[in-house]
Chains A and B, each alone.
Chain A
Amino acid sequence: MEYLLHIAVMVCLYSILATSFNLLIGFAGLFALSQAAFYGLGAYTTAILLVDVGLPFPLPLIASAVVGAGVGTLLALPALRIVGDYLVVVTLAFQIILVEVAMNWTGLTGGTDGISGVPNYQVFGLSLDSPTSFLPVALLVAALCFWIAWRLATSPFGRSLRAMRENESAAVSVGKNVVAMKLVVFAFSAGLAAVAGSLFARYFNYVGADSFLIEETIYILAMVILGGAGNLVGSVLGAAILVILPELLKFIALPVDIADKSRLVLYGLVMVAILIYRPQGLLGERKTQARTRASSGPGGGEAAAVPLRASAGAAARGRTIEGRGLAKQFGGIVAISSLDIRLEPGTITGLIGPNGAGKTTAFNLLTGFLKPTGGEVLLDGSSTGALKPYELARAGVARSFQDLRLFTKMTVLENVLVALPGQVGDSVFSVYFRPAAVRRDEAANVRRAREVLAFVGLEEQLHETAENLSYAEEKLLVVARLLATGADVLLFDEPLSGLDGATLQEIFPVMRRLAESGKTVCIIEHNLDVIKELCSVVYYLDEGHAMAVGRPEELMADPELAERYFR
């Protein structure tokens, strides 16, 4: 019986570790393989504070969480410049360094002897020194940690995390501060893992570095992958299976000396097999529709004209964005040289020119995704040079991407929801301490998102995953997401290419109404019929600067330009 309860305690510990790891991997898409290091950090913090300092409950537990979160943030600060495979390696290196420190800093950590004699929890004079008495505490803490992770993951903040995971630059383009988000999620993940470590120290009364090796990180990773990245319940399930399975294997008579190794071989096999045959894990990512469905109501119909006002907050403010003498060089290659461009409210400006003329680079400069090597960008007369792309998006300058960059694993509704500005639930503080305000705001946002989707004609596909849309629908969703930002300056990078005539006839009025409502619209486009139909001003870009500016018919009548491009 004691033995079964011991296994239950271990499932609790690993549930905390796996769910917190999943926040990082499954939700934020950050493959930082140092979870066991934070686990150990928490264990050592508690052990040292109890044994050497003698702090009373609950200070060591809190200190563990704080130290874990703090070191997690410190690691994240430099590490976040690094992406993908490199992040994996740099965090593996961190994991190894931390273990080496624990092994070698004998004065603080006891070196290879570790720290023993960590006192048990005392409740009403009762010492929690057995699995039976410890289990309630473990369950309680695990439940609390799960709630914290769950709350974060299912909040609008969690939605923004997933958007960042799907496409970081697109998340930036809808005004998400991805650096801050990464720091927060690192802090939460590391802090929760450290709480598990604190429990470890209390339960085993001993802390040694060999419990927190890189292998441990990989087991926790296996739990997350087995259960399903992006699914917190899956992580608990994964933890339970991978803790219990080896215990069951003990019933198979194996020579003692290879029992452990067989268990590990099994781990490896399970991991590889899952990744080959069911890469999404046992449960797969949860479609978060329950809450958004509940608030469904009449969406389409008369709403068509509403969202422009709704999504722009007050009526469009009529903003002018201007590039003066813009220049951009990549190494020796000049992409843009002395480009002057001015986009006025209430007009649709076209940007045309051959491939490589610098059209997309111009967008990148105007929206702050690239910093110009010369000249400056002015929004209503003041320089935007100091603004980061996400700040510029929040200030009302938003852009789409030629290659769409939808959040493909998220639903149509979520794609639009995530782009809505000023969400209460994007603040982690509000997520935990102002749940009612978050709920109200979310309900309002769902209404707005549905309006925007009705406006572009996607209300039928609300709960469809973006990757399942047709090409035309994807393009519409790009427009919807851009509208949802509520920006006054809208830069469309080839929004219409590849669409058939009928769909174009549906989109033209949408674009015109945007301009009529006072928005500043600019489109990059190759199709001259579209340009003639929509634009009142056209910039002809070639070799990095504006060769000609004027009304579409003027430019097309110019014999030199006709020779260069319009033939």
Chain B
Amino acid sequence: MDLFLQLFFNGLTNGSYYALLGVGFGLIFATTKIVHFAYGPIFACAAYAAWWAASLGVPLPLAGVFAVAVAAVLGVASFLVIYRPIQVRGAPGLVALIASLGLFILLENLLGIVFGAGNKVIENVNYDVFFLGPVFFTSIHLWQIASLAILGGALFLFLRYTRFGKAIVAMTDNREMAEIIGIDTTRMAIAVFAIGSALSAVPAVLILLKDGATTHMGFQAVFMAFVTVVVGGIGSIRGAVVGGFALGLVQSLGLWKIPTEWQSSIAFVVLFLILVARPQGLFGASRL
């Protein structure tokens, strides 16, 4: 039972992490219809940016802000330099996806060249350790949950109540209609790439504090984001949250019965089964 509770809590924290990744990725995907695989390495770049800034002696919160800025700039740049020219040519959506895979390889290996191999950790991070009955956790775990609540909630309010946010939702619904009623879809696309990428920087920094950063961390991140979005349904923050928790819990509780070395396979098997059974995701597309 103790093990179960601990696994359950781990599932919740991992679920928050996946959900936040899914919210950012899903926002980009639903609005622009681009499968932005390079979301992964941009996430990794954010973690490295924070590590680099911190290693120069920048205080941690500032390093986090720097990471957010780096991610946002890279996200917008990838849209302007790569995706937009492809979309302007009227190429099918899969072309953007493949280009995204190319960008993925490019960024991941550039990171390797610039920073070298190996795990980058921030030394001397102070965090509190808590015991709640049999369950062990740290303040970083709490931050993972809090960041989802704060940022997910803020994004929800932004999309629901601001003029700009409503325009983004309109574009998610029907791009052509949005254009007809005078929404500048390019500007919206730039905005969602900035917001989505910035969102990914927060879990990136938290993972850096928790486990450290590696050049390969992006693949797992973007894949989990994708699974989350697929499980939860595209174009829905609520869906991404549900999907993220479902994924985190399944993966974590799976350890109860399944040997550890298979843990990373669980998510993929789940994804595979869900897509095969329900090609449109568990909940389909719903608003917000």
Stretch in contact with the other chain, from B43-51, B138-146, B178-186, B271-279: B271-279
Query: What are 21 sample pairs from A and B whose C-beta atoms fall under 8 A apart?
Result: A84-B93, A84-B94, A89-B275, A90-B272, A90-B275, A93-B269, A93-B271, A94-B268, A96-B265, A97-B272, A222-B102, A261-B113, A262-B109, A264-B108, A265-B113, A268-B103, A268-B105, A270-B102, A271-B101, A275-B82, A276-B82
Which residues of A (47-100) have their CB < 8 Å from a CB of B? 78-79, 81-86, 88-90, 92-94, 96-97, 100
Closest to A271 in B: B102
A269: Cβ under 8 A from any B Cβ: yes
Query: Are A88 and B94 in touch, CB under 8 angstroms?
Result: yes
Segment at the interface with A among B8-16, B83-91, B189-197, B236-244: B83-91
Docked-complex contact B109 and A265, CB < 8 angstroms: yes
Residues 21-33 of chain A: 1 if any B CB is under 8 Å from the residue's CB, otherwise 0?
0000000000100
Which residues on the B side are within 8 Å of A79 (C-beta)?
A: 276
For chain A, what secondary structure do more than half of its interface residues adopt (helix, strand, loop), or is it mixed? Answer: helix
- CB contact between A268 and one of B104, B117, B223, B276 (< 8 Å): that residue: B104
CB distance from B224 to the nearest CB of A (A): 12
Q: Are A279 and B89 in contact (CB under 8 A)?
A: yes
* Given known contacts A93-B268, A261-B112, A264-B105, A276 and B98 CB-to-CB distance under 8 angstroms: no
A270 surroundings in chain B (CB, below 8 A): 102
Asked if B105 and A100 make an inter-chain contact with CB atoms under 8 angstroms apart, the answer reads no
B268: chain A residues within 8 A (beta carbon):
93-94, 96-97, 100
Residues in B neighbouring A100, C-beta threshold 8 A:
262, 264-265, 268
B95 at the binding interface (Cβ < 8 Å): yes
Residues 80 to 138 of chain B near chain A (Cβ within 8 Å): 82, 85-86, 89, 91, 93-95, 97-99, 101-110, 112-113, 116-117
Do residues B106 and A265 form an inter-chain contact, with CB atoms below 8 A? yes
Report the separation of the CA atoms of residues A93 and B270 in the bound assembly, to the nearest whole angstrom.
Answer: 9
Chain A-chain B contacts (Cβ-Cβ < 8 Å), number: 121
B269 touches A97 (CB 8 A): yes
B230 A86 Cβ-Cβ under 8 A: yes
| Measured CA separation A269–B107 after assembly (Å) | 10
A321 on interface, CB distance cutoff 8 Å: no
Interface residues of B (CB under 8 A from A): 35, 82, 85-86, 89, 91, 93-95, 97-99, 101-110, 112-113, 116-117, 219, 223, 226, 230, 261-262, 264-265, 268-269, 271-272, 275-276, 279
Query: Chain A 85-123 against B: per-residue CB contact (8 Å), 1 yes, 0 no?
Result: 110111011101100110110000000000000000000
Q: How far is the CA of A258 from the CA of B276 in the complex (A)?
A: 40
Q: Would you call A218 and B113 a contact (CB within 8 A)? A: no
| Chain A nearest Cβ from B32, distance in angstroms | 12
CB of B136 to closest CB in A, whole Å: 28
Given known A81-B276, A89-B226, A272-B82, contact A258–B102 (CB-CB < 8 A): no
Q: Is the CB of B103 within 8 A of A257?
A: no
* A193 at interface, CB cutoff 8 A: no
Contact residue among B85, B91, B112 (Cβ-Cβ distance under 8 Å from A258): B112
Of A92, A96, A104, A261, the residue contacting B261 (CB under 8 A) is A104
Say whether A279 contacts B101, CB under 8 Å. no
Residue A206, interface by CB 8 Å: no
Contact A221 B101 (CB under 8 A): yes
Q: How many residues of A contact B (CB 8 A)?
A: 42
A267 — which chain B residues lie within 8 A by C-beta? 102, 105-106
> Given that A90-B271, A275-B95 are known contacts, is A82 also in contact with B276, CB under 8 Å in the complex?
yes
* Interchain nearest-CB distance for A284 vs B (Å): 14
Residues of B contacting A78 in the complex (Cβ-Cβ under 8 angstroms) = 276
Give the distance in Å from the alpha carbon of A419 to the alpha carbon of B175 in the complex: 34
Known A-B contacts: A89-B271, A271-B102. Give 5 more (CB < 8 A).
A81-B279, A88-B97, A90-B272, A97-B272, A265-B106
Residues of chain B with a CB closer than 8 A to A93's CB: 268-269, 271-272, 275
What CA separation (Å) do A560 and B67 show in the bound complex? 70
CA distance A279 to B106 in the complex (A): 18
Chain A residues whose C-beta falls within 8 Å of the C-beta of B94 in the assembled complex: 31, 84-85, 88
With contacts A90-B272, A93-B271, A268-B109 known, is A275 near B86, CB below 8 A? yes
B272 and A275: CB pair below 8 A? Answer: no
The answer to whether B109 and A264 touch across the interface, beta carbons within 8 angstroms, is yes
Q: Are B279 and A82 interface neighbours, CB within 8 A?
A: yes
In the assembled complex, which residues on chain B have CB atoms less than 8 Å from the CB atom of A104? 261-262, 265
A272 touches B102 (CB 8 A): yes
CA distance A282 to B210 in the complex (A): 46
Q: Does A215 contact B (CB under 8 A)?
A: yes
Q: Which of A214, A215, A262, A275 is close to B113, meaning CB atoms less than 8 Å apart? A: A262
Q: Does A152 contact B (CB under 8 A)?
A: no
- Complex contacts, A96 vs chain B, CB 8 Å: 223, 265, 268
Complex CA–CA separation, A84 to B102 (angstroms)? 18
- Which residues of chain B are near A316, meaning CB under 8 Å? none
Q: Which 3 A-B pairs rank lowest in CB-CB distance, beginning with the nearest?
A: A268-B106, A271-B102, A268-B105
Q: Quick one: given A84-B93, A261-B109, A271-B101, are A279 and B86 in contact (CB under 8 Å)?
A: yes
B170 to chain A, nearest CB (A): 22
A residues 215-251 in Cβ contact with B at 8 Å: 215, 218, 221-222, 225
CB distance from A285 to the nearest CB of B (A): 14
Q: Is the CB of A258 within 8 A of B262?
A: no
